[in-house]
Amino acid sequence: MEAPTPPDASQHPVRGCLERQFAVAWQLTGYHLEGLTTAECLWRPAARGLHVHRDAQGHWQADWPTTEDYTLGPSSIGWLTWHLGFWWSMALDHNFGGGTLTREAIAWPGEADQVRAWISGLQQRWAAALHDTTDEELASPVRVRWPFQQRPLADLFAWANTELAKNAAEIGYARFLHAASAPAGE
């Protein structure tokens, strides 16, 4: 794994830390998205668990958990990639945009190539938001509206880094399960 580029020495130390964390989390995400197939996305690791489904209009919608209990079952890669796109889209819209986006408006793209394009686009927008944020804004809670409020913007970027690494790890683990479930020789 390539080490992230150290930040400019004139940069605020919090910004440098956030940028390094983001670089590592994004590298892990990219590793697990590379080569991802639609069949892997739609494979279900168990009979129950969060998944994506086509609605009557042909749009892909995601299950929404009513609990986070372990009895829910493991999520599909399709759902995990939707969830990554969901929280990132919501965070961008509510903290750096109009704040009107809802969970119901966020559809899963429907195939792995479109998932990669969607998530890569969100990564580019998020990297730009971090880059364009001033040190004063990082320390201020003014802009922070989702998924929490009244905390410094730096906390939002730190939360997103953690969420990104968590989702990447979950996708990777599900890909290992999928590969191990294939008949020998495939």
Cα distance between residue 184 and residue 173, in whole Å: 19
pLDDT at res. 1: 46
Cα distance between residue 94 and residue 106, in whole Å: 14
**CATH architecture observed for domain 23-58+74-176:** Up-down Bundle (1.20)
Q: How many C-beta atoms lie closer than 10 Å to residue 69's C-beta?
A: 8
b/e 4-27 (16+ beta carbons within 10 angstroms → b): eeebeeeebeebebbbbbbbbbbe
Cα distance between residue 158 and residue 160, in whole Å: 5
Q: Where are the domains of the chain?
A: 23-58+74-176
Pairing mode, if any, of strands 52-54 and 60-62? antiparallel
Q: Where are the alpha helices (DSSP H) in the chain?
A: 13-33, 38-42, 77-96, 112-132, 135-139, 153-181
- Local confidence pLDDT in tens for the 186 residues of the chain: 455 555 454 467 899 999 999 999 999 999 999 999 999 999 999 999 999 999 999 999 999 999 999 999 999 999 999 999 999 999 999 999 999 999 999 999 999 999 999 999 999 999 999 999 999 999 999 999 999 999 999 999 999 999 999 999 999 999 999 999 987 665
pLDDT at res. 9: 43
Q: Angle, nearest 10°, between helix axes 77-96 and 112-132? A: 30
Q: What is the pLDDT of residues 132-160, one digit of tens each?
A: 999 999 999 999 999 999 999 999 999 99
Q: What's the pTM?
A: 0.91
